[in-house]
Chain A
Amino acid sequence: NAGVTQTPKFQVLKTGQSMTLQCAQDMNHEYMSWYRQDPGMGLRLIHYSVGAGITDQGEVPNGYNVSRSTTEDFPLRLLSAAPSQTSVYFCASGNLGEQYFGPGTRLTVT
C-alpha cells in the first residue's frame, strides 16, 4: 500500500511551457485534491474531485486544469507555466478532514 504518490519530485520549467503533475492513490478514496503551498503560507486548494468524472474548482484554479478518469489518478496540468506558479504542489486523497497527502512536487518556473 503506497498511499499517495506524486511525480516528479522536482521540476524546473521555462515560462510558457506545459507539464502535468501526476498523482495516484491506492486506497480507493473517492475524494482527491490538489493544493499549492507558497513560502510561509498555508495550503491553498486548486482543484478537487469527489469521484471519477467529477471535478470542481478550489480557491486558486486559474492556470490549472484537472481531470479524473479513474479513481486512482488525478493529474494536474499547467498549460502555460508562469513564474507565479512557482510553488510546492501537494496532492491529497481521503475524507474531508483526514486527508492523506503525497510528498509534494517542487516546481520552479523561470
Chain B
Amino acid sequence: GESVGLHLPTLSVQEGDNSIINCAYSNSASDYFIWYKQESGKGPQFIIDIRSNMDKRQGQRVTVLLNKTVKHLSLQIAATQPGDSAVYFCAENDGGGSNYKLTFGKGTLLTVNP
C-alpha cells in the first residue's frame, strides 16, 4: 500500500480478482478523503470520496474503507478488469484553513493481467 509522502508501490492482480489498494495518512485533522484514478497520459479521474464521519462508502464496483484509529484508507475494486489498470491516488483535506487544499499521496500502480 501507499503512504502519503512515500514511494510508489505496485499491485498486480488477475482479471476477475478483487483488488485492495491501501493508503496511510498522517494528519489526524484530515476529515475528507478522495480516491482518484490516473491512466497513462491522462489527468486524474475522481472515483469515490468519504468523510470522516463514515467508515465505509460504496460505489459501482468500488468500496472505500476508512479507519481513523490507525489513520488508514483503502480502496477495494471488485472483479478487477483490464480497464482498471492505472495509478490510484488517495488525497486528503484537513478541513482547516482552506476547504480547497488537497494533499495527494504518491500513488499505487495497479496492473491487471488478463
Q: How far is the CA of A41 from the CA of B91 in the complex (A)?
A: 12
Q: How many residues of A contact B (CB 8 A)?
A: 26
Q: How far is the CA of A50 from the CA of B32 in the complex (A)?
A: 18
Which of B14-22, B44-52, B70-78 is the interface stretch? B44-52
A109 at the B interface (CB under 8 A): no
Which of A14-22, A64-72, A74-82, A98-106 is the interface stretch? A98-106
Q: Is the interface of A mostly helix, strand, loop or mixed?
A: strand
Given the complex, which residues of B lie within 8 Å of A97, measured CB to CB?
32, 34, 46, 49, 91, 93, 102
Q: Which single member of B42, B99, B100, B104 contacts A42 (CB below 8 Å)?
A: B104
**Chain B residues within CB distance 8 Å of chain A:** 4, 7-8, 32, 34, 41-46, 49, 89, 91, 93, 98-107
Known: A50-B100, A58-B101. A102 touches B43 (CB 8 A): yes
Provide 14 A-B residue pairs closer than 8 Å at the C-beta atoms, listed in order of the A residue.
Answer: A40-B106, A41-B8, A42-B89, A42-B107, A43-B104, A45-B101, A56-B98, A59-B103, A90-B43, A90-B44, A96-B99, A97-B34, A103-B42, A104-B41
B93 and A96: CB pair below 8 A? Answer: yes
Given the complex, which residues of A lie within 8 Å of B44, measured CB to CB?
43, 90, 101
Q: Could you tell me the distance in whole angstroms from the C-beta of B66 to the nearest C-beta in chain A?
A: 14
Per CB-CB distance, the 8 closest pairs between chain A and chain B, nearest first, are A101-B43, A42-B104, A97-B49, A97-B34, A43-B104, A42-B106, A98-B46, A40-B8
B49 and A98: CB pair below 8 A? Answer: yes
Known: A43-B44, A97-B49, A102-B43. A31 touches B89 (CB 8 A): no
B43 and A96: CB pair below 8 A? Answer: no
B89 and A104: CB pair below 8 A? Answer: no
A103 and B104: CB pair below 8 A? Answer: no
Given the complex, which residues of B lie within 8 Å of A31, measured CB to CB?
100
